[in-house]
Amino acid sequence: MGRDKSNLIAAACLAAFGIYVVYSGSKLSYVSDVGPGPGFFPFWIGIGFLLFGAYQMILSYSSARRHADHVAPIWSGSGRALGGWLGLAVAIALFRWIGFALGFVLLTIFLLVVLDRRPIVLAAGIGAGLALAFHLLFETALGVSLPAGPWGF
């Protein structure tokens, strides 16, 4: 049969991850004294993953997806996608030593300059603006600390 097995496998993995997130979120309290508890968002995000995975699995079987007897996976964009994941992993690893703000700016520059071929000045401006927005939202408004580097930010 001409089913796109790569989409089916990816959708099944997403649905399985959704089940895991729902299960993990259900172990936490759903509500607290002041509103949603620590299990509220994981529970609903897991439901979303589960529903989206199920929807993608249905699409992989639909007649619209059976347009050819053999559908080969398209690997042309894989390098950029893997580069993005690698950049994110490196940035997360560097947060501890250089802080969130600088790590996020460097990640943004990498994503925009290396992977998207945009000017470095634009990428640095976007990265700095987003790092400032994250700081204002999390540190100032919500009181959640982000990893700080040796410079204090």
Residue 150 lies inside a defined structural domain of this protein: no
CA distances from 65 to 15, 56, 133 (A): 19, 11, 41
Pairing of strands 35-36, 31-32: antiparallel
Domain C-terminal end among 16, 32, 65: 65
Q: Give the pLDDT of residue 118.
A: 95
Rounded to whole angstroms, the Cα distance separating 49 from 148 reads 32
Per-residue pLDDT band at 1 (split at 50, 70, 90): very low
Q: Looking at the structure, tell me whether residues 91 and 125 fall in a common domain.
A: yes
Q: Structure pTM? A: 0.57
Mean pLDDT of 22-38: 86
CA distances from 7 to 76, 96, 99, 119, 149 (A): 16, 36, 37, 34, 40
Tally the domains of the chain: 2
Q: Give the pLDDT of residue 69.
A: 53
Range(s) of the domain holding residue 61: 5-65
Q: Looking at the structure, tell me whether residues 100 and 131 fall in a common domain.
A: yes
Size of the chain in residues: 153
Residue 71 lies inside a defined structural domain of this protein: no
Residue 135 lies inside a defined structural domain of this protein: yes
pLDDT tens profile 72-92 = 666 666 788 888 889 999 999
Residue 15 lies inside a defined structural domain of this protein: yes
Q: Looking at the structure, tell me whether residues 42 and 82 fall in a common domain.
A: no
95 has a pLDDT exceeding 60 = yes
16-25, 30-39, 72-81, 90-99: least confidently modelled range: 72-81
Q: Looking at the structure, tell me whether residues 17 and 50 fall in a common domain.
A: yes
Q: Looking at the structure, tell me whether residues 95 and 45 fall in a common domain.
A: no
Residue 73 lies inside a defined structural domain of this protein: no
Residue 146 lies inside a defined structural domain of this protein: no
Residue 152 lies inside a defined structural domain of this protein: no
